[in-house]
Amino acid sequence: MVDVAMLDGQVAVLENAIARYAINGEIPGPIGSRHPSITPFGGFKTKDSWVIIACGNQVIWERFCKVVNR
């Protein structure tokens, strides 16, 4: 048997939505596979496959661009 604190799990998943509501009263809606505060974030088609990119800040974005020669 696995004992899981369901409320703890929900709060962890909804942390960003809870913060947005607490700060400005914005009622969160569906966002699909997007991330509410990280961009780029998602799956992107390449010439022959897919790549998942999630660059959470400027430093990571700059390093990513350097790695892919852009």
**Residue-level pLDDT at 61:** 92
Encode pLDDT of 8-54 as tens digits.
888 877 878 888 889 999 888 887 777 777 788 888 999 999 999 99
Contacts of 17 (CB under 8 A, 6+ apart): 28, 36
Place of tokens 């390093």: 63
Record the pTM: 0.54
Q: What angle do CA 6, 54, 33 make, to 5 degrees?
A: 55
Instruction: Tell me the two tokens of residue 23.
Output: 């700060």
Nearest-angstrom CA–CA distance, 66 and 68 = 6
**pLDDT at 65 > cutoff 80:** yes
Domain that holds residue 27: 6-67
Of residues 3 and 61, more confidence is placed in: 61
In a domain, 1, yes or no: no
Three-class SS state of 11: helix
The structural domain count of the chain equals 1
**pLDDT at 69 > cutoff 90:** no
In a domain, 56, yes or no: yes
